[in-house]
Structure 1
Amino acid sequence: MIENQISSLFRIGHGIFNGIILFLLLYQGWLGIRIRKSRQEGAPLLPVIKKHRKYGPPLAVAAGAGLFSGIVLLFSLNNSPFPALLHYFIGSLLIPLVSATFLISRRIRGTAARIRTAHLFLGLLTLSLYLVQFSLRAKLLSLDARKLLLIL
């Protein structure tokens, strides 16, 4: 019984943490779009660029940690990815996507349009998959919350 409560709390904590990461990634994406538009207009927004560069690396690390913790939770509680197979699969895809987006961002210099476009594409793909992942997690989270309330 206590193990069920603890596992439900860990799952809820994982969902809340990654929900916060999703919100921060959306903010980071909004900053990136603002930078892209201002650069195309010929007047780059230096404070926004600094903010985007400052928060990107720690956010990538936090996103990777949150996704990896989900994989650890799944295998430690179930010994198998099957209870949440699609959630597991998308989370496993997001880890290399976040890493690739970060690594490509380190190569952006001057007017490197191809690298900027790759960074934009990977960022949009990451955000899209994160939204799908979060909607799947919300369904699983509501099930965990119901179980937790029934146990209490």
Structure 2
Amino acid sequence: MRLLAALLLALALLPSQAPLRAQDSMPPAPYAYRQLDDPAQEARAQGLMETLRCLKCQSQSIADSDAPMAGDMRHQVRTRIAAGEDPEVIRQWMMERYGDYVSYAPQVSRTTWPLFAGPVILLAIAALLLWRRFGRRR
């Protein structure tokens, strides 16, 4: 009975895996592995790509990753740089599209301020506790 249930579950989930396999079999975007003709534009694109995280690899920038998703992101960056967009505008667009996690340069926002304030608050509490403990001995 368990074997039949596992087989039915596998068959039910099989169609949902097709889009994932299809993405890896798609040809790479034109600027995924090809540099821009203008060296100044390519330098700006490369600088930005080194500060954006690959969402699949998570420990590599999109400049260093060979994942298909990183190639698509490199293509987006190079296309937008070639169109004359500012790298910071492109970073903001990537963060809106993929979330704050995509950027190696974190920014204080409505959702991330506790990450920046938390350590300061913990240090203040620790200093207060130490002052109360050792300050009363005098």
TM-score by length of 1: 0.28
Question: Higher relative CO (CA 8 A, sep ≥ 6), structure 1 or 2?
Answer: 1
Larger proportion of helix: 1
